[in-house]
Amino acid sequence: MLAKRIIPCLDVKDGMTVKGVNFVNLRSAGDPVELGRRYSEEGADELVYLDITASVEGRKTFIGLVRRVAETVSIPFTVGGGIGSVADVDTLLGNGADKVSVNSAAIRRPELIDEIAGRFGNQVCVVAIDARFTAGQWVCYLKGGRERTDRTLLEWAHEAQERGAGEILFTSMDHDGTRNGYACDALAELHNRLQIPVIASGGCGSMGHIADAFTIGKADAALAASVFHFGEIRIPALKQYLGACGLPVRI
């Protein structure tokens, strides 16, 4: 069995790391480069940096921040926010990013996934999906959760895989920031429908929640933010805990 990955997520707005509840009520959590350095030194497997307002405000992702992160951390990192073309991806990779995460632009124009995978390889393309459980199904949202679409989680994730996505990053908007645990049932459904890795996001409040994402949700990686940013969970202790639960992790 492949090692389960622990991925701190840094939502960035105006150059600072922020965290909210259900995608709103943001508060500052510190400098994104220094937090990334700390997580890299503590043993995180990867990092994700998301410019959470880039799609809304029509801005391109922060190239300067990407360059600083690449110079500072020693683990792979993914960058997302405002990516709408192969040229955007080329610029980000050229400045040190290892992968890109696409969300709004991919739903609007799914061919973007084909183009990224065809040019740079499937491993570079992470398709992020923000969804809310509505009327008995998971419905996808755009623009940082501000705009509802007619796409559903399972069918869109499957199409993204078929177009060349290397991973699916699923965030439950209902669970985000609540610290009540991940959407494990939806994660398990994704695992059963897909052949590519699934990253769990939204709802982490304890080490047990991460273990649940791996066991009940069958996720390949767990992404969390505030529990790491505010020091409630330390990555070395988390990995020891997961190892004691019988889960394969890189120590």
- Token pair of 219 as six digits: 């996720």
For residues 249 and 3, the answer to whether their CB atoms sit within 8 Å is: yes
Query: CA 32, 229, 41, 249 torsion: positive or negative?
Result: negative
For residues 83 and 97, the answer to whether their CB atoms sit within 8 Å is: no
- Walk me through the domains of the chain, giving residue ranges and CATH numbers: 5-244 (3.20.20.70)
Query: CA 46, 51, 56, 60 torsion: positive or negative?
Result: negative
199 vs 71: CA distance, rounded Å? 25
247 vs 251: CA distance, rounded Å? 11
DSSP 130: E
> Among all residues, which ones are annotated catalytic?
11, 130
**Number of other residues whose CB lies within 10 A of the CB of residue 90:** 14
Q: Which residues of the chain have pLDDT under 50?
A: 21-26, 57-58
Tell me, what's the pLDDT at 13? Answer: 80
Tell me, what's the pLDDT at 163? Answer: 98
Tell me, what's the pLDDT at 19? Answer: 57
Query: CA 177, 65, 129, 161 torsion: positive or negative?
Result: negative
Strand ranges inside 82-194, DSSP E:
99-102, 125-134, 137-142, 147-152, 167-172
pTM given for the model? 0.92
CA dihedral 160, 145, 94, 65 (to 10 degrees): -160
Tell me, what's the pLDDT at 60? Answer: 53
